[in-house]
Structure 1
């Protein structure tokens, strides 16, 4: 909801309204809008006007989900245990007049809605009483009111352990009730401010409709966590819908549509462990997967097929939401330079269903895909175990992994990288850098052999793969802080206190094999981003990947290495693994018989004659990457802070 408040200035209507309704004197900017509006008067005159008492009872009660306007023919299930009774209140004519005004505003629109129920959704959001939505009667609280007898309280050591009174009676009810009231008022205030911002900027159902459309066609393909085919407005809470609209509005609004509030970003990072705590507390990690016995037979009724489809979709969405939280946790941990909030390699969730089944547009298509896929899917914990076998192996994994599953696996490996410090000292029981690099090499083989991945999905996965490989050479976040600290540049991209190891010298480091490996991965990151189609240029790990690459560029440039001669072809196993990682020693004979990539990494030169090999001017590339950041600013608020740092780095290098 806070996001929508930040985006609420996106659409504003200006200009004259020369067309006036003869009945109500309402002005309109267009003739066709006036014609549509006048039809409402004709329709109202033809219908019998209901009595005032009947009309009042038809107003939707904001505190009951059952009474919301019908967004879809499917009725939302309501748990009687959490139904909040509506407080007694007297409805007057102001509420019908407000709803009528909203309906008149909607009649001005002459667009065809992509989501037919967007108008009802808009009216529900605008007419709902946000204060009542968040209120909980004190009688529904999980603790009874208790009157505390101060005279009976003992402030000393107990005389006997046998006459211990009930611990419930020692909980003061007044403070608990007051805390609930305070939180309720805070949430209600934030919610009402969102609605007020919507009203102030003339946001309409057409805009909300377009936001939802862009959310599903732009954001969901890169982060598949909501099921569009079974998506029903009525089954979603307003906060979920508002956040979906806020994300969708990023692809519609002007430059000021993105919030650059660093406090909101920092707060979300600090509170992110709570999501895992609530998931474990609610048992979401222990839910049973969809059973193959639950698949309906071809002869089953359409109602039975639809019911099982929606049951499967609900479980799949829950699982993907948890997996997406793992992905976000890994990304935030990398940007902060600290560890993750949970043990990714102990993830008990099984692999999600195939993207073909998840993207099925109807129940028959879904059944066809489900019958062709394996149901004995392994857990992510088992997948991680297979990445660290007793004997090193670079064979691809024996699982058909979707792009989404590969991203979850990569964030698990990123969590292992973040567990080691700058001296390569790891915690007890955590694989070392060499083990993680070998696992990354195995993942690269898996991606290369996964012919079911689309070209865009492959590029997005490899983009994150190169970033994590870069961080196995040096922590790019800590390196960024070090550069900014050395040159007194203020940065607001990452917090934390981790620093480079004592005695670190950037000028000496750029001539090490690890620096050249990091440079190869940085160049690959830039090339992949430039190859991605425009419609897929907003994957969530793009800003951090691009910033990690430009950090390596600036370190080389500040050290005086502005031009780099590269190998003509890159063998990525050699760009990732050292001789020590391969457990084959590091003698000169081995190095001399390696590939051109290994000779570049180990010795710093290539086999290409001068003028024929690939040459990169890093300072020029930094200018190109700055332009990429300016393109990302329209969707990512953090890209604005990154671009400011890059701009100062470029100034230093000139």
Structure 2
């Protein structure tokens, strides 16, 4: 998927120029150079931060507690009032103030058409398969989706593989964020299709902020998260229960328009699923309650993957007729009935992704208040039910395109371990509660919950080791691997046992979550149990292996930032 040869990039530049000019004084104190300087300095652990390679733990701790320092305020260097009357303003003061309130002159020109073509193609071939909120076959650049298109370009630039391309993507990202805020009112008052376009653009921008590896980007996107949810509610997207519910097969004369209407409805459902996934990501990253309610009945079912991938209206209709299930009555023509969902609608990775992310968000919400034993058992049952449904919907699949089993294991870790407490233990020299936290962590490491957390962490490492070289990872993978390492690290530091070779006991193997974590258990129990007992040893070499895995996996800079934090911890651990 790329820009057509006749597409006018200059016209696209003009389409956002009005939004840029409308920023006014809101953009006065912001410049790309200052963003970059402070981004590199202020990156810390919880907000996807990291240190430099080889950084010691003491320096890591300094990074953890570094506050966010913005660029110099535009009012800081205004001259003082020269008048003898301190309660009056003179002309010099007024001129300085006027000068400071003027927006800086920035070059908002777009990169070349070839670069934009490349970014769009990389987005649809690399990222859209793991986070499919855009219907690639019907997507066409237009003046209506200019912001949407540029947001795709910003994220696609991360796949080019060069620092200059990433810088171009970040420049588009920062420009676009301000442009979306400036023109959102115009979009919100012009129908659901324009609302969908701006919500899609903002959601893709949120994803860029999560993966760019810069703290300021993450904080910016988290701050806008509530606004995007409000826009989606304004567009009525949370009311869409199923895209196929309005489709009828009685008249195929205008099949192309029927297909386009369905695409709009399905994208509306999928953008809500994407916001639910983002909501869970922000809740875990910042250790706070989610903004959305993640009850299972609030998740709208996305259509099957093969239906969403149909490239033409005719192919879509043929696929639809294979999967439809209509109510048949003796006196009613079935073709006049609305197309109802079939069990195959659950064959959607996006639907499974949103449902699992909802469980993770609910666990985090409960942990922010009180996670009792009854709640733990409820969430364990929910995760096992999800796994059963997922295994039935996608039987025999060798490659999990959205890395959902990694998120499944991370959900169990979130259930058994307090990520916030474990992070605070790393920052023990600056946290006055470190003694109490250390004592609780020692108790946790020697409990059944601590052991289960380590087992799920090892399963995450084991699964990511087997990913194909060319596979792209999902949004949650770097964080899941990072938290796995934090759990393993704390287990190494505080576990009472001197034997760090993890061997699954018969009791461990009998746990339902362990039995179902490998697909071949049901067909080759004895062989699988033999492989399950060989999860490896827990020592410094395992940390080295995970750091190397983080540096090599995917295109996201956040992975390299996480690896930098772990390098510092490993160096500190090796000195003891």
User: What is the TM-score when the length of structure 1 is the normalising length?
Assistant: 0.58
The offset of 1:248, in angstroms, is 1.0
Contact 1:525 1:549 in 2 (8 A): yes
| 1:367 corresponds to 2:304 | no
The offset of 1:345, in angstroms, is 0.7
SS in 2 for 1:360: coil
Q: Which residue of the other structure, out of 337, 351, 367, is the alignment partner of 2:301?
A: 351
The offset of 1:118, in angstroms, is 5.2
State the match for 2:454 in structure 1: 519
Q: Which residue of the other structure, out of 508, 528, 545, is the alignment partner of 2:463?
A: 528
Q: Check 1:133–1:553 CA distance in 2 against 1; reply closer, same or farther (3 A cut).
A: closer
Instruction: Flag the structure with larger Rg.
Output: 1
- Segments of structure 2 that go 5 or more residues without pairing to the other structure are 24-99, 168-211, 328-342, 516-524
The offset of 1:255, in angstroms, is 4.1
SS in 1 for 2:537: strand
Q: Distance in 2 between matches of 1:627 and 1:517?
A: 24
| 1:625 corresponds to 2:546 | yes
| 1:219 corresponds to 2:138 | no
State the match for 1:300 in structure 2: 252
SS in 2 for 1:457: coil
Which stretch of structure 1 is more off in the superposition, 638-647 or 519-528? 638-647
Contact 1:479 1:551 in 2 (8 A): no
The offset of 1:372, in angstroms, is 2.5
Give deviations 1:381-409, integer Å, cap 9, x for gaps.
xxxxxxxxxxxxxxxx9973422111111
Q: Which residue of the other structure, out of 544, 556, 563, is the alignment partner of 1:643?
A: 563
Q: Distance in 2 between matches of 1:653 and 1:118?
A: 56
Contact 1:422 1:500 in 2 (8 A): no
State the match for 1:567 in structure 2: 504
State the match for 2:226 in structure 1: 273
Contact 1:437 1:577 in 2 (8 A): no
State the match for 2:259 in structure 1: 309
Across the aligned residues of Structure 1 and Structure 2, the Cα RMSD in angstroms comes to 3.9
| 1:448 corresponds to 2:391 | yes
State the match for 1:122 in structure 2: 9
Give deviations 1:255-292, integer Å, cap 9, x for gaps.
46265432221121133122222322332222474456
Q: Distance in 2 between matches of 1:194 and 1:310?
A: 37
Q: Check 1:536–1:363 CA distance in 2 against 1; reply closer, same or farther (3 A cut).
A: same
Q: Which residue of the other structure, out of 189, 195, 216, is the alignment partner of 2:108?
A: 195
Q: Check 1:274–1:557 CA distance in 2 against 1; reply closer, same or farther (3 A cut).
A: same
Aligned length: 425
Q: Check 1:365–1:575 CA distance in 2 against 1; reply closer, same or farther (3 A cut).
A: same
Give deviations 1:320-340, integer Å, cap 9, x for gaps.
011101001101111111110
Q: Distance in 1 between matches of 2:228 and 2:163?
A: 31
Contact 1:326 1:411 in 2 (8 A): yes
Q: Check 1:410–1:291 CA distance in 2 against 1; reply closer, same or farther (3 A cut).
A: closer
Q: Check 1:487–1:370 CA distance in 2 against 1; reply closer, same or farther (3 A cut).
A: farther
| 1:483 corresponds to 2:425 | yes
Structure with greater helix share of residues: 2
Contact 2:131 2:402 in 1 (8 A): no
The offset of 1:308, in angstroms, is 0.6
User: What is the TM-score when the length of structure 2 is the normalising length?
Assistant: 0.65
Contact 1:121 1:233 in 2 (8 A): no
| 1:286 corresponds to 2:173 | no
State the match for 1:461 in structure 2: 404
Give deviations 1:40-85, integer Å, cap 9, x for gaps.
xxxxxxxxxxxxxxxxxxxxxxxxxxxxxxxxxxxxxxxxxxxxxx
Report 1:92-491 matches (<5 A): 115=2, 117=4, 120-128=7-15, 130-131=17-18, 193=106, 195-196=108-109, 198=110, 203-234=111-142, 236-255=144-163, 257=166, 259-287=212-240, 289-291=242-244, 294-296=247-249, 300-301=252-253, 304-345=254-295, 348-374=298-324, 400-421=346-367, 424-425=370-371, 432-451=375-394, 454-457=397-400, 460-476=403-419, 478-487=420-429
Bigger RCO of structures 1 and 2 (CA < 8 A, at least 6 apart): 2
Contact 1:400 1:450 in 2 (8 A): yes
Q: Distance in 2 between matches of 1:484 and 1:545?
A: 17
The offset of 1:423, in angstroms, is 8.4
Q: Distance in 1 between matches of 2:423 and 2:326?
A: 45
Contact 2:304 2:345 in 1 (8 A): no
Contact 2:126 2:472 in 1 (8 A): no
Q: Distance in 1 between matches of 2:344 and 2:370?
A: 30
Q: Distance in 1 between matches of 2:322 and 2:434?
A: 50
Q: Distance in 2 between matches of 1:226 and 1:358?
A: 10
Report 1:81-92 matches (<5 A): none
